[in-house]
A and B are shown apart, each in its own frame.
Chain A
């Protein structure tokens, strides 16, 4: 008799969403988390009174989160307080111009009219098509399984209106952006989202060109920090008997005759279960936890063929003053060509680019309780690809120097004089992210995402190589991000409920 019906490895959003749903469906479920805190990339840690978010910095497209709580027969509002953030982004261009996009589409139209009247028509087309596409694809794509051609065919039959947007999937990100906008500043303000999918605009799928637009449906910050989301899901799951063990590092997944039947922890403890769900990166799951000798050849070739998305270091800054910023998120953008140049001529050659392209998150704007009174937090994500193995160096060795360079960028481009107000600075390098999140090369956006690694070409939610093994999280389904990883947990739970209840 196994110890549990299901063991879920990793308490990230995908793992917790899946675990809480299968617990609700009567499976005795245990979540194992290697860290002392839950949430993975969507988490918060405390240092000297400041609560810093590990990676994820807001929630956009809250429909999957609401759907999850509906499926748990709970009201999301009873578990999380989501604070609306408006404007959604403030942009600083390479030449120092600043402007913001409000949530409201009509208000954004006025902003575009001021900056680039020639792009007004393009923006109107982009927003009308994009919002329609996002609304129609929510159930058909985001909350449905797309693991096989059959799934795709069924989706096409059930939601034929989505098919008209299929060509977008095959175009490049920059192709989509340039087909709507002529002005380089407006192009840049939409194209930088390509890096969020871990690819430059010339390689990323055109479908990601609409991420920026999805934020006009509203962006939110959870009161208490990003960890409030996994904590809320865990709390709802616990009401159905879900169990959690932190500081429990899994060494391998136990298999016999290509069937999973439990896990072995680092300390040698074995815990058995009818099924195993991995919320850990699919490459780590197959190549480290299952191990190549237990996999068929085609599975090794398939899983090894994926590339990680780009790593990005992150700097966490505690300030003794209020920063002079306009929004929860401030983005320093470069042109589309500059983004491609950084990828091809720096990142691919192992060189850390000297660029100011970055994303600065100001969480205390929404929730001042995250810092001591009168103090603030800036989470500074260097949103340009930084090689995992910089030429002739190592991230552990260069951590201090990198921190100083990042503060210089902050000082020069975003907040002059910031050095005089810094209370505390912490850095997470790609190596730190790799150790903390088990993402190969510290790739916080998961697997590299382009049209050859999406939908049915991404690792399946239900493993075909190992029986009773299921996967969830950013390396499955639609990739990284709060809504997409929650959606992946929902999709995986449906397979498990169908197969095992």
Chain B
């Protein structure tokens, strides 16, 4: 079961990576922007 989960996880990661690589420059900037903001969300929630 654990092996199946690991494989599924790796496949999902690869799929996301491929989707990212194939996306437009504009979408890449949006994703990068969101990823940079994620770290602040817990602090922003409480302020």
Contact = CB atoms under 8 A, between A and B. Distances in A.
A202 B29 contact: yes
Contacts of A460: 47
B1 interface: no
A301 B34 contact: no
Contacts of B33: 203, 450
21 contacts: A202-B26, A202-B27, A298-B43, A298-B46, A299-B43, A299-B46, A301-B40, A301-B43, A302-B45, A302-B46, A303-B47, A340-B26, A450-B37, A452-B38, A452-B40, A452-B41, A452-B44, A453-B37, A456-B45, A457-B44, A458-B44
List the 10 closest A-B pairs by CB distance, nearest first. Answer: A302-B43, A302-B47, A305-B40, A452-B37, A457-B44, A202-B26, A301-B43, A302-B44, A303-B47, A298-B43
B20 interface: no
B47 A464 contact: yes
Contact of B44 (A148, A340, A453): A453
A345 B45 CA distance: 31
A299 B43 CA distance: 7
A253 to B, nearest CB: 16
A462 to B, nearest CB: 11
Interface string B9-47: 000000000000000001101100110011011011111
A340 B27 CA distance: 11
Given A302-B40, A452-B37, A452-B40, A465 B47 contact: yes
Contacts, number: 55
Given A172-B30, A301-B40, A450-B33, A459 B45 contact: no
Contacts of A456: 45
Contacts of A459: 47
A176 B26 CA distance: 14
B26 A174 contact: yes
A286 B43 CA distance: 14
A224 B41 CA distance: 43
A271 to B, nearest CB: 26
Contacts of B46: 298-299, 302, 464-465
A344 interface: yes
Nearest to A344: B29
Given A452-B34, A452-B38, A305 B29 contact: no
A337 to B, nearest CB: 8
Nearest to B24: A202
Nearest to A451: B34
Interface string A343-360: 010000000000000000
Contacts of B30: 172, 202-203
A308 B37 CA distance: 14
A457 B44 CA distance: 5
B28 to A, nearest CB: 10
A340 B47 CA distance: 30
Nearest to A286: B47
A375 to B, nearest CB: 45
Contacts of A202: 26-27, 29-30
